[in-house]
Amino acid sequence: MLPGFETRHALDAMLRISGVIETQSMLHTGTWPRLALDEWAPTQSTLHRWTQIVGKTRLALAPMQNHWWQVVLYVTERGLTTSPIPYDGRTFDVSFDFTGHKLIARTSDGDIRTIPLVARSVADFYDEYMSMLRSLGIEVKIMPVPMEMPDTLRFTDDRTHASYDPDAAHRFSQVLVQADRVLKRFRARFIGKSSPSHFWWGGFDLACTRFSGRPAPEYGAVIPNCPAYVMREGYSHECISAGWWAGSVGGPVADSAFYAYSYPEPPGCDVAPIRPEGAYYHPDMHEWILPYEIVRSAPEPERAVLEFLQSTYEAAADRAKWDRAALERPSGWEPPPSAARGVK
């Protein structure tokens, strides 16, 4: 078998599964907007903390799920949402609308409240958000301290982070839409345990994680302002995770990028051949990185991302000796016809 043949076959299968034929105009960089960190770093830093405030509401109220999946946010056509959160015999959700620039809270009994998304401090956002929840009859207590970042300034005292660029926020949401769409396509061929495509407000990244089914050694790395038991639960089983990260000031990879890694990491990942050109292994992070600018400038951005996701998965799964035959759709598999398309 020629090198890369399996990757190309899997990639073609993922394209078929979607049932959509993309045109060059659909795949043009216009649908993958520019998002350089130096152009929106103040807004990114503020949004990171705003999403943590909302995400911690889920953490406080939603029933525990494996790997903390109950705390994440999900991509919508206009931003991010909690999905329904249970509370006192009813449910509510909270959504960031980065097109209309407002935060929306809805309850299952019909109440709606909104907060405009404008330049304001984290402390002011926190106060208004909690007041909005109280107006809906929702009382919740969260730990008002950032997680997974060195900063320990409490949300209630944070008047440092107070930026909101509407254009940058909208472009951020559109990158999430594109990344989420591709991650969902990538997930389709895997029939083992897999997370949804979901947004982690701790790391401010979108991720989809596949599992081998085997337990993993206890996670020992230290994450800033994150209890060890959180990471032990998150990495309780062998996994290969991939996603898109918005970047951060002072981080080892400053600008936004797609990433992939294996836990535990089998030997040889650092020298494994991956695709497309421009993707690389970061020795300090122990992750594969595909810079977002390479994606958006590619002739076919979606195909470039799928090549990255598939080739890094294969590199890690083969070296870790995953039972790929049991975890993936067989070669040549086609989805059944949907009701919308009709049965021939």
Report CA 306 to chain centroid distance, whole Å: 15
Asked if 72 and 55 count as a contact pair (C-beta separation under 8 A), the reply is: yes
pLDDT tens by residue, the chain, 344 residues: 333 545 555 565 555 444 433 444 333 345 899 999 999 999 999 999 999 999 999 999 999 999 999 999 999 999 999 999 999 999 999 999 999 999 999 999 999 999 999 999 999 999 999 999 999 999 999 999 999 999 999 999 999 999 999 999 999 999 999 999 999 999 999 999 999 999 999 999 999 999 999 999 999 999 999 999 999 999 999 999 999 999 888 878 889 999 999 999 999 999 999 999 999 999 999 999 999 999 999 999 999 999 999 999 999 999 999 999 999 999 888 888 876 666 55
Measured distance CA(218)–CA(42) in Å, rounded: 36
User: Do 225 and 148 meet the contact criterion of CB atoms below 8 Å apart?
Assistant: yes
Q: Which residue has the tokens 């300034």?
A: 153
The size of the chain, in residues, is: 344
260: tokens are: 């992939």
Residue for token pair 């045109």: 23
DSSP strand E in the chain: where? Answer: 74-75, 79-81, 85-87, 90-97, 102-107, 112-116, 198-200, 205-215, 237-245, 257-263, 280-282, 287-291
Beta carbons of 175 and 292 less than 8 angstroms apart? yes
* pLDDT, position 1: 31
- Cβ 180 vs Cβ 192: under 8 Å: no
The pLDDT value given to residue 13: 55
**Is there a contact between 47 and 168 (Cβ–Cβ < 8 Å)?**
no
Domain boundaries, the chain: 5-33+166-327, 41-157
* pLDDT at residue 20 in the model: 39
Rounded CA Rg of the chain: 20
User: What distances in angstroms separate CA 17 from CA 6, 21, 122, 187, one per listed residue?
Assistant: 16, 11, 43, 11
